[in-house]
Structure 1
């Protein structure tokens, strides 16, 4: 549909067509405007004829899911989690629907049902993946969808970020539980997480060649954000890594030669043992140690750029979500400042 109006001495035209971005242009004469309308609408009609819209009835959602998992997912670092999400989608009844039957309401209902089963963050990630799948289908696979059915689906509000801090008693209980473990890599892994704020995957991928213990630096070549970074190490972190390096022995091998799943299971076993002394520790997640590390960095007096250089956060807002300062420590600083000013 074309709209034409005269404004400020010019003829302004806007053409709207389902499945296309609105096109707008201004002309000095009405005749030129009408000529452009005819040409543009003809182009849009030809583009529409290039597609066989009946093909939407012959393709179902499962076809897109399988194609995306085969062609796109393997190129991503999160291949494991994404593959599992697609498996969840394939078990849904709507995966058997044709693309001609799919509407935004299909995924609105999916959203509401999943919110009764899992946390909002999980649903947000699922909707984001579905949106990406349909967008690739439209833009790269020539699937004649007029629009992305996820574009009008409202995402749920994300839950408030965790503010879990590690208590001294909990750390004592965890380390005591580590002492009964049958491996020698789990205890240094926990201590390193607290000293550096590194993610589990980053810790497990540390290699001897990534270390410069004389300068106190550790290079992380592969990160969640796909941006390598070099982080400064505390004296305690240097000591931990030096001990692990000597124990590992291999010049360029991984210092923590275990799988992510083995590390996760060790963490769960450790928590169960520690819970005998600290029952509340059962809700502690390994990722909470990253929160603890970032908070400690700020309590040590490091500024935002310095903490970001260690943690790898590129967005200050995300960095602050990981920061949960203890009010009692702030009170101590305020009192110390007041005392120094009085003196």
Structure 2
């Protein structure tokens, strides 16, 4: 049975209507609306769902904003992920958007589509897709683990994803490597806390990812066998990376930190910024630290290693994935042909 009550402010002016629904076997439900017609429509829908056995308590969903949902996600879910640091920054972008102020119960695909379009004006499609992935997982966790009722289901499932066309084939050309290392060595002399020149050399010799390099520990290095164990990788599988003589020399030049990390307290974002400054000083455009992985992988092929050997070093799981990171120069292949 539904009942309706006027809601008034301190001056006695009507500010809305409160609807209350009481039905045996169900918890009492109440909600306030601007007009009585809206209150009556809501009460009728609730009663109908109860009669059909389709009613579910949406009070928590209605009382929770997306911002509050993301903050809980950051506390309970994000810390368990390998890429927690990167996910925090993506979650912050969501929290800074107006969609975070909306009740979870009122968010539909039109709202997440607007979020997508707003973000595409500021960041790349791949970044937007990462943020949509986080939103999708947050909605799924809320429904499956936290018992929140999503009226329209997971809205991200009905949100068109932006097309990502950011595959890169950037390699070092001409004297770029020499100029880059000279600029990086100058930077090291100015601030030895960031051994950017040695980081560049090591990346070119190992084809390792930025995060893998930052996480290296001394106990994972077998100096006698010249092998580095990478226990945690992007693919979830550990691998062993053979170390060239140059890579060994770089490691031997590093001081031993109490933390046990080979590169000390190295943060990926700081590494990227230092690399960007070195590129700017060297007059090199459109080069990222991750491009060194492309360069190193291609050089492994140019040294004559077969795909299986290269994959064991780089950690690529399929030949197709390996192909994305490999860009051989036609002139170098011509030399192999004789």
Give the TM-score range, shorter chain.
Answer: 0.7 to 0.9
The answer to whether structure 1 residue 248 and structure 2 residue 258 are counterparts is no
CA deviations over 1:264-317 (Å, ceiling 9, x no partner): 333233222212xxxxx1321111000101111122222222111111122332
Q: Which runs of 5+ in 1 are unaligned?
A: 1-44, 276-280, 337-343
CA deviations over 1:89-131 (Å, ceiling 9, x no partner): 1122122112232111111111122222211111111111111
> 1:11-160 residue pairs with structure 2 within 5 A?
46=53, 48-49=54-55, 51-146=56-151, 147-160=153-166
The one of 178, 192, 198 equivalent to 1:172 is 178
- Stretch moving more, 258-267 or 129-138: 258-267
- Does the aligned pair in 1 maintain the 2:229–2:238 contact within 8 Å? yes
**Counterpart secondary structure, 2:272:** helix
Separation in 2, partners of 1:262, 1:58: 39
Q: TM-score, normalised by structure 2?
A: 0.77
Q: TM-score, normalised by structure 1?
A: 0.76
The one of 274, 282, 290 equivalent to 2:282 is 274
* Counterpart residue number, 2:199: 189
- CA separation of 1:61/1:252 partners in 2, compared to 1, >3 Å: closer, same or farther? closer
Separation in 1, partners of 2:82, 2:127: 18
* Counterpart residue number, 1:330: 333
Number of equivalences: 281
* Counterpart residue number, 1:230: 240
Separation in 2, partners of 1:172, 1:201: 24
* Counterpart residue number, 1:39: none
CA deviations over 1:193-229 (Å, ceiling 9, x no partner): 0011012222233232222232221111232334221
CA shift for structure 1 position 318: 2.1
The answer to whether structure 1 residue 301 and structure 2 residue 311 are counterparts is no
CA deviations over 1:228-265 (Å, ceiling 9, x no partner): 21112223323333x23xx4246983221242244333
**Counterpart secondary structure, 2:240:** strand
Separation in 1, partners of 2:313, 2:236: 15
Q: Which runs of 5+ in 2 are unaligned?
A: 1-51
**Counterpart secondary structure, 2:105:** coil
- Does the aligned pair in 1 maintain the 2:90–2:131 contact within 8 Å? yes
Give the alignment's Cα RMSD to 1 decimal: 2.1
Separation in 1, partners of 2:258, 2:119: 48
- Does the aligned pair in 1 maintain the 2:276–2:288 contact within 8 Å? no
Separation in 1, partners of 2:215, 2:106: 45
Separation in 2, partners of 1:92, 1:159: 25
- Does the aligned pair in 1 maintain the 2:63–2:103 contact within 8 Å? yes
- CA separation of 1:211/1:99 partners in 2, compared to 1, >3 Å: closer, same or farther? closer
**Counterpart secondary structure, 1:215:** coil
